[in-house]
Amino acid sequence: MTKKPVNLRETLSRNIKNHRELLGLTQEKFAEKAKISSNMVRDIEGCRTWVSDSTLSNIAAALETDTYRLFMPENINEAENYRTVLLDLTKTAKRLETDFSATLKKTLKLWGK
């Protein structure tokens, strides 16, 4: 069975609305916290507009969540969310370890050790 592709606009709109409602915010209060108009909130939640990077950052801050979480499809369960985050962290840790090892080797070589 083939998975249906994710529609980012629908996913973003649904997640913003869900997060807003979980926090008990009206569209007007949320708009104030996110530094956007209530009309913009209605358009975003209604899939009628897309958001700029800065607006997206303001929205995530107002919803007290990480930006990437607003793009997570609801059909991904929490365990899969954690798995995705852990994989990202593992990749970052490996890259940092590699960078650190290379820098340490260079430093030791300069010191003659």
Give the residue extent of every domain in the chain: 1-73, 76-113
At residue 20, the pLDDT reads 94
At residue 17, the pLDDT reads 96
Q: Which CATH superfamily is domain 1-73 in?
A: lambda repressor-like DNA-binding domains (1.10.260.40)
At residue 74, the pLDDT reads 72
Torsion of CA 65, 40, 56, 71, to 10 degrees: 70
With a pLDDT cut of 70, the percent of the chain lying above it is: 88
Instruction: Name residue 22's amino acid.
Output: L
At residue 75, the pLDDT reads 66
Residue with token string 């649904």: 14
Smallest Cα–Cα separation from 72: which of 82, 63, 62? Answer: 82
Residue with token string 């358009």: 43
**Residue 35 contacts residue 7 (beta carbons within 8 Å):** no
